Amino acid sequence: MRLSVARRVTLTVVLGLGVHAAGAHAQVTVSGVGYVNYGYALNGDSSLAGTLLLSHNNNFDVSRSYINVQTKSANIATRVTADVDGRKAASNQLTFRLKYAYVAWTPDSSSLTYKIGLIHTPWVDWEESLWDYRMQGTMPVERNGLMTSSDFGAGIDGSWHFDDVNAQIGVYNGEGYSNTPGDAGKDIMGRVSVRLAKSDLGTKSSGLRLSGYAQIGTMTGGGSRQRFIGMLSYKSKALTLAGQIAMGQDSINSVLIKQKSSVISFYGVYNIPNSKAGLLARVDMFDANTDSTSTATNATGFNKQTRIIAGISYNVAPNFRILADVDLNSLDGTVSNAFDKTAKMFFVHTQFTF
């Protein structure tokens, strides 16, 4: 990946400002994570010319990498995260952008933390801590375009009684961190997760939990954007189980009929006792237009798709993990290329941290 001189200077200035702002007594940490993978198409693509072997597309790739600079001084914390996206930009280079850039304040003896800047949206980051396999890909609602993991805004995080209740609420631009801010419309997003029973794991997503999310906002141009999610989950040292249903409703302006969409997902992880290995499985069912009488103002792709993921992971070292999995995606509707209708991929994913 090549970065222009302007981008290198910008990155240096941004990271420098993040460190300088913390002051002389701040605790500064630099960390990072990268996802490197190899993908092989199990079914041939008829649109690729050549022999049968060449029709099975396969590539090595760096799907994502992050560099985090974080500071902590008294009640103030800051974070700047640089994000390099494996999806190619129009210039045929990797996409470089900010993922997070915010300041957070936690008053003395308070259960609340106040944030402003480019911050986490309430749902995706929390669910990633439950699933714990971001290396495989994004979460169901993000993968199917219902929301992003960060956005420009201001919010409040809350935690009570050792995370028995965990919540987050905020006001955001609503267009996501990788898009321009949009117009005067804003989105209100909120999540609350309640632990119904404890497990042998003490994290913010552990135990038997009932979680809900709501988002109400205005799209650029005057349309509406609504999201609602309900989830029941269980997480312990050995087992993770979760089931969720997410509903969306969009219109590109105030006149056109609202289009409804849904994502239903189930997943599970089994960490084999006395072993560094784990098994995982996930099913995502996405319907871009659940109401056949609505006007498909925002419909992209096909009306329904089902994705099945299954694999096995191995922790080589505390900072290095490997995952081998199949990612089987099927689409409803008439397509010109059978490969697009039933894309079957085999992946070897790796995750490294520092």
pLDDT, tens only, 13-34: 344 444 444 444 689 999 999 9
What local confidence, expressed as pLDDT, does residue 46 receive?
62
Protein fold of 5-353? Porin (2.40.160)
Confidence of residue 181 (pLDDT cuts 50, 70, 90): confident
Beta strands in the chain, from DSSP E residues, in sequence order = 27-41, 58-73, 76-88, 94-105, 112-120, 150-160, 165-172, 187-197, 207-218, 224-235, 239-250, 259-271, 277-287, 304-317, 320-331, 342-353
Sign of CA dihedral 23, 24, 27, 29: positive
What six digits make up the tokens of 140?
A: 């169901």
What six digits make up the tokens of 253?
A: 């302006």
Look over the chain and give the mean of its residue pLDDT values, rounded to a whole number: 86
What local confidence, expressed as pLDDT, does residue 151 receive?
96
Mean pLDDT of 269-277: 97
341: three-class secondary structure by DSSP: helix
What does the CA dihedral 209, 214, 215, 216 come to, rounded to 10 degrees? -170
Tell me the per-residue pLDDT of 40-58, one tens digit each, with 9 for 90 and over. Answer: 988 876 666 555 556 788 8
What local confidence, expressed as pLDDT, does residue 330 receive?
87
Sign of CA dihedral 214, 195, 122, 315: negative
Closest CA to 81 of 125, 145, 131, 143: 125
Of 66-75, 174-183, 204-213, 343-352, the one with minimum mean pLDDT is 174-183
What local confidence, expressed as pLDDT, does residue 103 receive?
98
Sign of CA dihedral 172, 173, 176, 178: negative
Q: What is the value of pTM for the model shown?
A: 0.86
